[in-house]
Structure formats: structure tokens, C-alpha cells
Amino acid sequence: METKWLHDFIALSEQGSFSRAAEIRFVTQPAFSRRIRSLENWLGVALVCRNRYPLELTPAGEAFLEQARQLLAQIYGVRSQLRLSQQQTPGLSLITQPALAVTFFPAWLHRLRPALGEGLVRLNTGHYHEAMEQFMAGAVDFLLCFAESEGAEALQRPDVERLKVGQDRLALVTATGDDGAPRHRLDDDRPLPLLLYPKDAFLGALVQRECLPALGERAWRPVCENALGEGLKAQLLQGEGAAFLPESLVREELTSGRVVAFPEIKSCELTIELCRLGEPRSELAARFWQQSRLQAGG
């Protein structure tokens, strides 16, 4: 049993469609269908009537749906209790995507620190859906994430507060050679080699949806996938290809000229949000939110 199967099944029941559920879970429909089938095989019962449209759950699926929600709540609740029991020093906790942990969080926390005093701030990282799951389960005080253009459905709840705390841009960049010229160009006869995030990663899905179409008829070919932006950056600096990366991740290299952006390709705006679920659980968490609002001008 994997917890992602439970999240998949709940998403399927809410969306009423394999294609829509796969989209919000950032996986391909075939992969999503296999995961639902794996859950059914593990349980030993069919959960979905696949020969009906619109989609319907079987009686067993209807009975299991609430159990799935309760199981997830219990799993994350127990984990949260165990973690809290081991925390001897009071503090607050956040979870964020790996890219933001490197590019945005350190300087942002430094600006907030005077108002927080010596309070302990614990930062965990997880890819988008993992981070969202932990946040919605109450395992952390705050979620720091890139915001989806239409807003994540899970965050569209009255008990979730969202605050815009930063902005970034996803730009197509390449390293330069010793002569300062770009190592890769769009006007070459050869296809542009691209270093990509996986399609099921948040930034990978964004690149597929908004960035790659901007290349138009220009030829390109994938040469490597890596879920970590720092990994893509390291490969880019070796000259292995171009990549769509947050500008903050390569800011120093852009300034020094070691990396250049493709001026003919428009960058994609990235909004950074801080989210909290319900009322703050500590005085430090309350101060953290208040100071974040002041920094954001809210």
C-alpha cells in the first residue's frame, strides 16, 4: 500500500474522470490508471465502474472512500505527533519545494529574523504533492510554494489563508563558453538539447504546459531529466544543454555572464505563496505570519 494510491483514489472520486484526476495529480493518465489498478489489486476489490460514463464508484469504492480519507488523516496525524514528541525546542515548521529552499527561503527568512528573535524555524522539503499533502494533513505550520496559475484546488478552502510573498521567473538559459558566447542557440541547424524537470514535477508540468509551446516550430530534443533544479544547473554549467530554470537559481551566473537567457523566448512568471491552515498553533507562528504580511505589504 502506498499513500499516493489513496490520494489518487480520492482525486478520482472528486474529479469524476481519470484524465482530470491524472492532471491534478501531475501524472500521465496511463500511469494514474495503473496506480488505481494497483490499489484495487491490493484491496482485492474493484473500486471503479470503468464501463460507465460519467465515472461511478462501485459499492465497495463508495464504502472505501471515507475510509481512505480517514486513513490518510490518521497516518499524517500519527507522524505529526511523533515528530512533535521528539522536538525538545519549541518552534515553527514549514514545508517547501526543493527549488524554493535553495533560492528564496534563506534571504526571506533573514529578512524576517529580527521579528522572530531566537525562535527555531524548521524547514522540510518535498515535491509539490508531498508538500501539499503534509500541509493539508496539519503536519506543518506553513506551506511555502510556487502558486499555480489557477490556484491549487486543495487550497480553495475557507480555512486556508494564502499570502503572496515573492516572485520569480522561469527562463530558458544556457551556459557560455570561454569567449562569452552562448554554448547553445535556437538558430542552429541542430535541435536544441534541453535539460528538463520530470513531467510529473510541478515545474516540469509548467514547462510542458507553458514554456515548450513558446519554442514554436524550433527543434529541440531532451537530453536529461532531473527533479532537482540544482542538478539541472550543474549539468547546464557543464554545457550539456539549455534549461528552463528559475532566474533566482542562476542569478549570480546571469550577472557574471556565465549563463545567458534566450532573449527571443519569453520567461514564465512564478508567484511564491505562503499558506497557513486554520489559526496559528503557537505565538511564534502568529508572529511569523504577521511579519510575513508586513514584508509582503499586506
Q: Which of 55, 81, 107 lies at the terminal end of a domain, its last residue?
A: 81
> Which CATH number covers residue 105?
3.40.190.10
Q: Same domain, yes or no, for 153 and 204? A: no
Domain span at residue 213 reads 168-270
Q: How many structural domains compose the chain?
A: 3
> Model-level pTM?
0.69
Q: Same domain, yes or no, for 190 and 129? A: no
Per-residue pLDDT at 90: 67
Helix, strand, coil: what percent of the chain each, to 5?
A: 45, 25, 30
Per-residue pLDDT at 151: 52
DSSP 8-state class, residue 201: S
Tell me the range of 6-10, 213-217, 257-261 where mean pLDDT is highest: 257-261
Q: Residue 297: left (phi > 0), alpha (psi -120 to 50), or beta?
A: left
> Which CATH number covers residue 52?
1.10.10.10
Cα(129)–Cα(132) distance, rounded to whole angstroms? 5
Q: Same domain, yes or no, for 258 and 188? A: yes
Q: Same domain, yes or no, for 89 and 230? A: no
Q: Same domain, yes or no, for 154 and 123? A: yes
Q: Are 173 and 259 in contact (CB under 8 A)?
A: yes
The answer to whether residue 87 scores a pLDDT higher than 70 is: no
Q: Same domain, yes or no, for 285 and 150? A: yes
Q: Same domain, yes or no, for 54 and 143? A: no
Per-residue pLDDT at 70: 87
Q: Same domain, yes or no, for 263 and 283? A: no
For residues 280-290, give the mean pLDDT. 90
